[in-house]
């Protein structure tokens, strides 16, 4: 399967939407695919990735219970969210934490836990 870079950029928005609205295993799969897209697209489209994917990350972190599940979603989203957090951090570095600082404290705290950053 040959996919052009442009194609994957076009997948960014629908994947972001699905990662927020799907449930269960599908949500996990989408979130993990999104992490792969971040790694591929960020070097070329940093602004678009930040604009779209951060909204998904805040959604996931904001709605996750302490056990790592999302209310009504079924399944554990923790691993996928950790993967997405780490992919974004690998690309954005400190800037990710700067963005997180404007989020509610529990979201920032969850992100730091995923990134295992001592504060």
> What local confidence, expressed as pLDDT, does residue 76 receive?
74
Query: How many domains does the chain fold into?
Result: 1
Confidence of residue 117 (pLDDT cuts 50, 70, 90): low
The pLDDT tens digits of the residues spanning 4-51 come to 555 789 999 999 999 999 988 899 999 999 999 999 999 999 999 999
Give, to the nearest 10 degrees, the angle between helix 46-63 and helix 5-21.
20
* CA pair distance 90, 72, nearest whole angstrom: 30
Only one residue has tokens 């295992």, namely: 116
* CA pair distance 31, 56, nearest whole angstrom: 9
The pLDDT tens digits of the residues spanning 44-103 come to 999 999 999 999 999 999 988 766 666 655 567 889 999 999 999 999 999 999 999 999
Q: Which domain holds residue 66?
A: 4-115
């Amino acid at each position: 399967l040959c996919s052009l870079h442009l194609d994957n950029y076009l997948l960014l928005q629908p994947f972001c939407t699905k990662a927020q609205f799907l449930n269960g295993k599908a949500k996990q799969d989408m979130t993990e695919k999104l992490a792969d897209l971040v790694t591929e697209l960020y070097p070329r489209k940093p602004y678009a990735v930040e604009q779209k994917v951060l909204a998904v990350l805040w959604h996931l972190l904001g709605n996750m219970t302490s056990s790592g599940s999302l209310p009504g979603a079924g399944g554990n989203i923790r691993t996928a969210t950790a993967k997405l957090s780490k992919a974004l951090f690998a690309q954005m570095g400190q800037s990710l934490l700067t963005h997180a600082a404007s989020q509610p404290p529990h979201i920032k705290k969850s992100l730091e836990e995923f990134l295992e950053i001592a504060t």
